[in-house]
Amino acid sequence: MDTKLKNTSHFKWTKLVAIIIVWLGFLGTMGGCFYLFENRHIAKSSSYIETYSFENNFSELLYNTVEHYVTLQNEANIKYSTDDLHTEAENLLRFQRIKNQLSAIDNFFYYICNTENGETWSNLAGKTADPIQFIQKQPANAYFNAWTSDSSISISRNVESLMADSPYETYAAVVEPLQAGDLFYDDYMDYMQTKARINAATVISIISFILMAIAFIYLIYITGRREPEGQIVPDRTGRMYTDVHTILVLIAAMLSLFIAPGISVDVPKVLSIIAIAVVLSLDIFIGLFYVLSMVEQIKTGQIFTNTLLYKLGSALNAFLRLAFQGKVFKEWILLLLLGYGLINGLLFILCAETYRDYFGGVPFLFMLLLLLAFNAGSIYFAARSLVALPQIMEAVKEISAGNLDYPLNSTLIPASLAAFAEDIRSLQGGLKKAVIAAVKGERMKTDLITNVSHDLKTPLTSIINYVDLLKKENLENEAAAEYINVLEEKSSRLKQLIEDLMEASKASSRNLAVAGEKVDLQELMMQACGEYEEKIQKAQLELHILAADEAIFVRADGKHMWRIAENLLSNVIKYSMPHSRVYVDIASDNAYGTFTIKNISAFPLNIMPEQLTERFVRGDESRSTDGSGLGLSIAQSLTDLQGGKFQLEIDGDLFKATVAIPLWAEE
Amino acid sequence: MEKLNVLVCDDDSAIADALEIYLKHENYGVIKAYTGAQALQALSEHEIHLILLDIMMPEMDGLSATIRIREERNIPIIIISAKSEDTDKIAGLNFGADDYVTKPFNPLELMARVKSQMRRYTALGSIALKNGILKTGGLELDREGKELRVDGEIIRLTPTEYGIVVLLMENMGHVFSIAQIYEQVWNEPSYSAENTVAVHIRRIREKIEINPKEPKYLKVVWGIGYKIEKY
C-alpha cells in the first residue's frame, strides 16, 4: 500500500515536470519557429546583399541618384523645365533632399556619364582610376542606360522610366567591406545580429522540440498507469465524454485562431508576444490534456464506449428493449413497423391529395385501392404470423407432454416465426436423442441383468439338485445333515434373489407389458389375503379387512397387482410383531382406488420411507432373514407402471403402505 | 412290464446326470443327449416315451428340436429352461411342448410332471367316458361317484371344496368371483368381505396341482375371480 502511494506520488511529480517541459518546449519551439518565420528571408539569405532590406535601400538610392542627376540635373534645369511653381517648389525640395541623402551615404557609389557630351557625375572621384570597373567588381552593382539594364541584384524601383530617352549611362554599387556610419552599415549590423539570433532560435527550437517530444512520449507512456510497468487502470471518475471533449477542444482551437491574428495589431510588440504566449500556453495545455485523455482511453479501450453518442445510443437501445420487452422484437420488426407506418402515411397523403377530383377521380380511386390493398396485405401477413403461433404453442405443449414425434408443419409457418419453429424442432430432436439414449441405456442394463440371471440359473439348478440328492443319501453324520439344510435354504434364497433382481430391473426400466384390465380391487385383496391366510396365522397375526360397500374397479394388470399385494403381504408376515393386528383397508376417491396395509413392525424402523423403496435397502440392514430387499422397490415400480401412486409411511412402529390405482373409466 | 424310457437332453452334463439319478429312482430308463442333434439321433435309435429338453444348447436348440420331433412323433416333451419370461413359455408350448419348467426347478415337482405326462401318454386306449364325467387335461370329475381324479389318482376333497370344483368344472373356462362362488356353494348371500372362498381355493389347488403357485387347472384371475381351465 505504501509503495503504491509512493509510486502514485512519484508519478504525480514526474508527470507535473513532464507537463511543464512540454509546455515550455512548446512555447520555445513555437517562439523559435515564429522568429524564424518572421525573419525567413534573412534566414534564407546567404549574405546581406540578398536581403529585401538591402535591395530596397539600394533601389531607392539608385533611383534617387538617377532622378537627381538625370531628371532634375540642377536648380536651373528645374526652374526651366516647368512653369508650374508648385511643381517647381516640390522638385527643388526633392533635389535638395536627395542631395542631403547622398551626402549621408558612405558605402553607395555611383558613376553617371552623358554619352553625348562626356559629362560625368560620380562620388568615386579620387578613389579609383577606373570607376566603371571598380563598380562592376562589387557584388552588388547595377548598370542602366536608356534601353538596357544589367544588375547583380534585383531593382525594385522603376529606374528604367527615368533613364528612358536619355543619353546617360548609370553605374552604381555598394562597396564592400562596408564603412561604418551610414544606412547600409547600420542595416548590415542589424542583419548580422538577426542572423546570430536566427541560429540561436534554431537551436532553441530544436532543443525545445526534442525535450517536448521526449516529455510528451513519456506522458503518453505513463498515462493510465498507477505504477511503473503496472496494469493500465481505467479511471472512470471525472472523465469527460470523448466526443464532448473533442468538440470543446475544437472550439478552443477555433477561438485561439480568431484571437491570435487580432493580438499583433495595434499592440506593443512585447505585449503581443506575451498575449500570444498566453494563448499558446492555453492551447498547449488544452491540447496536451486532450491527447493524454484520448491515449488513456485508447489504452483502456474506452475510446468509443466513453462517448456521449455511445451512451445515448445504448440508453436508446435499452429503452427500446424495455419498450418492446427485448428479445421478442428484433430490429427488423421495428423497421417493418416503421416501414408500415411510413408507407401507410404516404398512401394516405396521396389519397388526400388526389381527392380533389383531378381527371374524374380516377387517381383517387387508384390510390384508395392501393391503400386498401396494402393494408389488407399487411393484416394478412400479421394474421398469418399470429395464426402460426398457436400451432407452435400446440407443438411445444405436445413435446413437453412427452410426444416427441409431434410434427411441426413448417410450410404453414411464416418467415417471421420460422427461426423460432426451427429452434423448437432442434430442441425436439435433441430431446428425442436424449430419450432414445436413456431408453437404450436402461434396456442394455435390463438385458445385462437378464443375461447374467440366465447364466446364474444353470449352475444354481445343479446346486439345488445335488443338494437334494445329497439329502436323500443316508448320512450318518448329524452335522452333515444340518449343513445340507443350510445349503438348501441358501440355494433357494439365491433362486428367489435372482428372480426378484430380474423382475425389479424389468419393472423399473418399464420394460414390462401392462394389460389395462378391469380389476376389482376388493376381489383382488380377498384373493391375496386368501393366499396368505395360513401364513398369516402361522406368523401369529390377526388380519382385518375393511372393505368398501361396493366393488371398486380400477384399470390395472391383475398379475402386477397380485405381485404388489404379494410383496406387501410377505413383508407383513416377515417383519410384523407377533400377536399384533394387520389392517387392510380398501377405499376409493374420485380418481383412484386404493388399498392400504398397516402393520406393527417387530423391529424399530429407524429409516426414511423413501429409502425403503430403494433397491436392496431393508428396514434393518443387519438382519439376514430371507427376502431380497427388492420387494418394495418392485411394488413401487409396478404401481408407477400402472399409473398409480405408491406411498410408504412410518409412524413409530406403525408401517403403512398405500397403493392408489386409477379408477376404471368406461369409455 | 417294460421300462419306460426318458430322453434327457441338456448341454450341462451335471444337470443331465442329476436328472438321470432322479429318473432312475422313479424306475425310468434314461438316455442322455447333450445337443439337439444328439437328441434327434437318440430318438431314432431308441424307443423313447418322454423327452426332457433344454432350450439353450449348441447344435440345434431345444425349440428347433421340438419342431423337428413334432413333425413325426407325438411323445410328451417337457422343456426345461433358464428362460423364465412369459413369452418364452408361450413360444415353447406353441411349438409343441407339453409342459414348460423353468430352471432352477424343484426336482420333486419335475418328477411329478414327468409322471403326469407319462400316465397320460401310456394310458392304454382311451377310457370310455361314463355319463356324468367331466374332463379337462388330466383332471376328471365323476359326479356320480363324487370323485375327482388327477391323472387317474383320486383326490380327497371336503364337501365345500367338492362343491366349488363342481361349480367350476360344470362351467369350465368361466370366471366366478368370490361372491358368486360363495352364493352358489354356500347357498347364502355374501355380505361381508370374507376370504374364506380364497382360502378354500388355495387348498384345492394344493391338492390337485403339481405346483400350486403355477396352477395348471384351477387358475386365479387376479382381481376378477377363479376358473378351471378347459383343455
Q: What's the burial of A135, exposed, middle or buried (CB within 10 Å: 0-12/13-18/19+)? A: buried
Query: Residue A118: how many CB atoms within 10 A of its CB?
Result: 7
Are B87 and B137 in a shared domain?
A: no
| Residue A363: pLDDT band with limits 50, 70, 90 | confident
CB-CB under 8 Å, B220 with A502: no
Contacts of A558 in chain B (CB under 8 A): 221-224
Nearest by CB: B222 against A457, A464, A524: A524
Nearest beta carbon to residue B223 from set A530, A547, A556: A556
Which cell numbers in the block locate residue A91? 522638385
Task: Yes or no: say if B31 and B51 are a contact pair by the CB < 8 Å rule.
Answer: no
**What pLDDT is recorded for position A500?**
85
Q: Cβ separation of A458 and B12 shorter than 8 Å?
A: yes
B11 with B114, same domain? yes
Range of the domain at B196: 133-228
Could you tell me the pLDDT band of residue A3, with boundaries at 50, 70 and 90? Answer: very low
Q: Can you give the CATH number for the domain in which B217 is found?
A: 1.10.10.10
Contacts of B18 in chain A (CB under 8 A): 462, 465-466, 469
Answer yes or no: is B211 within a domain. yes
CATH 1.10.287.130, domain A414-512, yes or no: yes
Whether residue B167 is found in the same domain as residue B222: yes
Looking at the fold, whether B11 and B100 belong to one and the same domain comes out as: yes
In chain B, what residues touch A554 (CB-CB under 8 Å)?
223
Find, in chain B, the residue whose alpha carbon is nearest to that of A523. B223
Do residues B92 and B156 share a domain? no
CA distance B155 to A511: 41
pLDDT at A331: 67
The band of A622, judged by pLDDT with boundaries at 50, 70 and 90, is very low
pLDDT at position A209 over 50: yes
Identify which of A254-268, A470-484, B124-138 has the greatest average pLDDT.
Answer: A470-484
User: Does the distance separating the beta carbons of A458 and B222 come in below 8 Å?
Assistant: no
Write the CATH number for B79.
3.40.50.2300
In terms of Cα–Cα distance, which of A295, A169, A285, A116 is closest to A223? A295
Give how many domains chain B has, as a whole number.
Answer: 2
Instruction: Judge whether residue A324 has pLDDT over 70.
Output: no
Q: Decide if B88 contacts B46 (C-beta within 8 A).
A: no
- Within a domain: B127: no
Give domain status of residue B161, yes or no: yes
Q: Which of A152-166, A296-310, A549-563, A602-616 has the lowest mean pLDDT?
A: A602-616
Asked, for residue B128, whether it belongs to a domain, the answer is no
Cα nearest neighbour of A519 on chain B: B223
Q: Does B103 touch chain A (CB under 8 A)?
A: yes
| The three grid cell numbers given for residue A216, joined into one nine-digit string | 510528451
Q: Distance between CA A374 and CA A383 in Å, rounded?
A: 14
Residue of chain A whose Cα is closest to the Cα of B23: A469
Q: Which fold has domain A514-662?
A: Heat Shock Protein 90 (3.30.565)
The answer to whether B224 touches B177, Cβ cutoff 8 Å, is yes
Q: Could you report the per-residue pLDDT of A107-141, keeping only the tens digit for each?
A: 888 888 888 888 888 887 777 778 888 888 888 88
The predicted model gives B83-95 an average pLDDT of 88
Residue B128 C-alpha, separation from nearest chain A C-alpha, in angstroms: 37
Q: Smallest Cβ distance to A558: which of B107, B177, B224?
A: B224
Spatial distance between the Cα atoms of A491 and A454, rounded to a whole number of angstroms: 15
State pLDDT tens for residues B8-58. Answer: 999 889 999 999 999 999 999 999 999 989 999 999 998 899 999 999 888
Q: Does some domain include residue B107?
A: yes
List CB contacts (< 8 A) between B178 and chain A.
523, 526-527
Please list, in sequence order, all residues whose beta carbon lies within 8 angstroms of the beta carbon of residue A396, skipping any fewer than 6 positions away. Answer: A424
- Let me know if residue B106 belongs to a domain: yes
Q: Which residue has the cell 536627395?
A: A98
Structure-block grid coordinates of residue A537 = 396365522
Of B19, B56, B220, the CB nearest to A527: B220
Structural contact between residues A72 and A92, judged by C-beta atoms closer than 8 angstroms: no
Which among B222, B224, B227 is the top mutation candidate for probing chain A, defined by the most A β-carbons within 10 Å of its own β-carbon?
A: B222
Q: Which one is predicted more confidently, A560 or A442?
A: A560
Confidence category of residue B125, pLDDT binned at 50, 70, 90: very low
